[in-house]
Amino acid sequence: MKLFDSHCHINSSEYDEDFENVLKNMNAAGVAGAMIVGTNRMDSASVVERAAAYPGLFAAVGVHPHDARECSEETLEYLKELTRHPRVRAWGEVGLDFNRMYSPQADQEKWFSRQLDVADELGLPLIFHERDSEGRFLEMLRSRYSGGRDGVVHCFSGNRAELDAYLEMGLHIGITGVLTLLKRGGQLRTLVPHIPAERLLVETDAPYLTPAPHKNKTRRNEPAFVRATLLKLAGVRGEDPEALAEIIWANTCRLYGIEVPAKLNISPATFRV
């Protein structure tokens, strides 16, 4: 199988001591590509730097709703400059998060809206974050897009009505290791059979959301573990894992407009964007 971790944060300092081993683990698991996703100005710069250093790694830049209070027009201009690098293939993660309210709702909505504008201006697909927005996230998206939006709802954890709405807007759905968890993943397992195969992506959100059975051995997630999510997804849907992996690989590359090597190597290699 050839797999693509469509959303991770492996620029985190948690990987500094053994980053090349993380890449080797990816290669051994058949994970040939990974999208490293930024959350604010400094983090986005770090994401681009890390992606630029290794083939098979790509970057998304943006301001997470938790960091919206620190956003500004100057920040967006800086991020736009980062998108000039050929490894930057998406804008995100952006959206609304009313769970812990690290940023006021007004700031979250203002900078979410502005980042939709910027992504449209640049022609980049969007990586969306939504948590406990009580319908406001969908309301804002629906006011802008009736269909055909290039993007993915990262770490989908919604209900059937929300899933149907995202699919109607043309969005992809990102499935994490939550799917593998006995209690927490129950509702998600009832919903994934309703997602068309051509809209599915798999992701780790590393270093978070470690899937079973890896979570019994380590708390830190890593891109290699996306294989466990893919295998569980295939099992829940009653599909052949290799066939599903091929579809999801194509979905991810199509969404992000990239083609990566057949295997991830930590030495330089040729790739096309």
Instruction: Return binding residues for a divalent metal cation.
Output: 7, 9, 93, 129, 154, 205
Number of CB atoms found within 10 A of residue 187's CB: 12
Q: Indicate the residue type of 58.
A: F
Written as one letter, the residue type at 63 is: V
Q: Say how far apart CA 158 and CA 249 lie, in whole Å.
A: 23
Rounded Cα distance between 110 and 208, Å, is: 27
- Give the residue ranges of the annotated binding site: 7, 9, 93, 129, 154, 205
**Interatomic CA distance for residues 79 and 44, integer angstroms:** 7
How many other C-beta atoms lie within 10 A of the C-beta of residue 227? 23
SS3 content of the chain, % helix, strand, coil (to 5): 45, 15, 35
Instruction: Report the C-alpha gap between 12 and 33 in whole angstroms.
Output: 17
